[in-house]
Structure 1
Amino acid sequence: MSSSLKPITVYGHYGHGPNPPKVFIFLKLLGLSYNHVPKDVNNDPTLEDGIKHPNYTSINPNGRIPAIVDPNQNDIAVWESAAILQYLAEVYDTDHKFSGRTLEERTFINSWIAFQISGQAPMQGQAFWFIHDRLHFAKYGEKAPEHVVTRFKDEVKRIYGVLNTHLQKQKEKGSGYIVGDRLTIADIAWFPWSKFASGTGLDMDEVPAFKEWLDRMLALKEVEETYTELAPKEAH
């Protein structure tokens, strides 16, 4: 990548959030320089370093992380992790190493990314919220109804079953990745949430092709570097 490029500003945070790592992993794979601006995820709009302060909602009106500002493209602000992956691919992955080379590949990649943001993330996020006492119970002082927990756990299981079946078909074709025969932004989009799938009660032995894929992703140097970089502050 050209040394004349200015570093991209990335708004993230230190911790275990599943969305910011997507951006850091892809930036590392692309060899792009960046500056990390960690944000406080407190919802207090008066907190200057917080995600709800006007100085950040002017960049991301939804007040969530991640977001980027690209000084190489007239300081364009991009928010939502899937949109950031697609933007970085369009602007900086010009040889399509991690993005679609053909209309078919681009369509499949976009379909799997859409499924990630409409299925995996919201269903797993709700499952975590209702299962773990530090979340729902801590806020409301009572356990979530069992049928609510079951509903989201079952949906998470269904979604990973869909991915497992697809990855098994990919394996039979000689591929270890979601689209085509190589790592793409579809894999990057799915990976960080997948890393914590077992926390919803998912039995990894029931999704062996998914587990193989997850292990393959965990072995990437850029993944290890990202989680080291974004480890909770107290661990630094």
Structure 2
Amino acid sequence: MAPVSVKPITVYGHYLPFPNPPKILIFLKLLGIPYEHVMKISTDDPKVENGIKHPNFTSINPNGRVPAITDPNQNNINVWESGPILQYLAEVYDKDYRFSGKTLEERTLINEWIGFQISGQAPMSGQLIWFSVPQGHLLKYGENTPDHVKTRFRNEVRRIYGVLNTHLEEQKAKGSDWIVGDRMTIADIAWVPWTRTMIYMPTYDPTFYDDFPAVKAWFARMEAIPAVKETFVELTAPSAKA
């Protein structure tokens, strides 16, 4: 648990289905770190005061995206991009290495899998969703996505989950249920929200994970963790709960 003297960290995020902010809340809950969640509006209009492109937020994250955090316990440092935020929180607050690497080798492996998540799983899944659901490309541009575009991203997403599935099978053979080492780490946390986004997107393929049984079993373990369940409840918009 965090020391009593720890001040709440400000987390800038969205309600679901945006999949990157949940990573940060899950980790803060696991660490027992208090936080204040500030919901930002997804818009390209810099005049919207609570929007992600307004100067009062681009001064925190120049890319105008969530998540980002401001840590009053460390001279109000701003940290943006979900991978670096996880790594920052691990370095500052996970002093007993419950969820981070104890050795150089463990830290390197964790960073590799976080890097693969943010450079592979997230953007490829995001593009597949954008071009597959009617609220994406069709709504904005008024035209259907060419089949070859959806095929390109579908194949790439399947390739990425194939890599993860093979790795989790190898981990299982070593006696581990996790992506790195013998315990859940920030690598596992990083992969959860986008995995959840795919598994709950029936307009894409409701049986997608049947082809990746090790991923499916790993995700079920992650989804059963209280901090994970609580985060997704917290990030469900009030209108969706009604």
TM over 0.5: yes
**Alignment-derived partner of residue 207 in structure 1:** 212
Root-mean-square deviation (CA), in Å?
Answer: 1.0
Give 2:63's aligned residue. Answer: 62
Query: Paired residue for 2:84?
Result: 83
Preserved contact between residue 66 and residue 80 of structure 1 (Cα < 8 Å): yes
**Secondary structure at 2:79's aligned position in 1?**
strand
User: Contact between 2:17 and 2:197, CA under 8 Å: does it hold in 1?
Assistant: no
Secondary structure, aligned partner of 2:144 = coil
Please report how far the alpha carbon of residue 196 of structure 1 lies from its aligned counterpart in structure 2 after TM superposition.
2.1
Q: Which runs of 5+ in 2 are unaligned?
A: none
Q: What letter corresponds to residue 219 of structure 1 in structure 2?
A: A
Residue aligned with 1:187, SS? helix
Residues in 1 aligned to 2:161 and 2:198: alpha-carbon distance in whole angstroms:
9
* Aligned twin of 2:178: 177
Name the aligned partner's letter for residue 51 of structure 1.
I
Tell me the distance in 2 between the aligned counterparts of 1:42 and 1:233.
20
Note the C-alpha offset of 1:47. 0.6
Deviation at 1:204, TM superposition (A): 1.5
Deviations 1:88-118 (CA, angstroms, capped at 9, x unpaired): 0000001111000011101100000110011
What CA distance in whole angstroms lies between the structure 2 residues aligned with 1:42 and 1:75? 26
Write the mapping of 1:16-55 to structure 2, written as runs, cut at 5 A: 16-55=17-56
Q: Which runs of 5+ in 1 are unaligned?
A: none
Q: Which amino acid aligns with 1:100?
A: G
Alignment correspondent of 1:121: 122
Q: Deviations over 1:18-40 (max 9, x none)?
A: 00000000000000000011111
- Give the whole-Å Cα distance in 2 for the aligned partners of 1:197 and 1:177: 20
TM-score (norm 1): 0.98
How many residues are paired up? 236
Who is 2:160 aligned against? 159
How far did 1:197 drift?
2.2
Alignment pair present for 1:74 and 2:75: yes
SS at 1:5's partner residue? coil
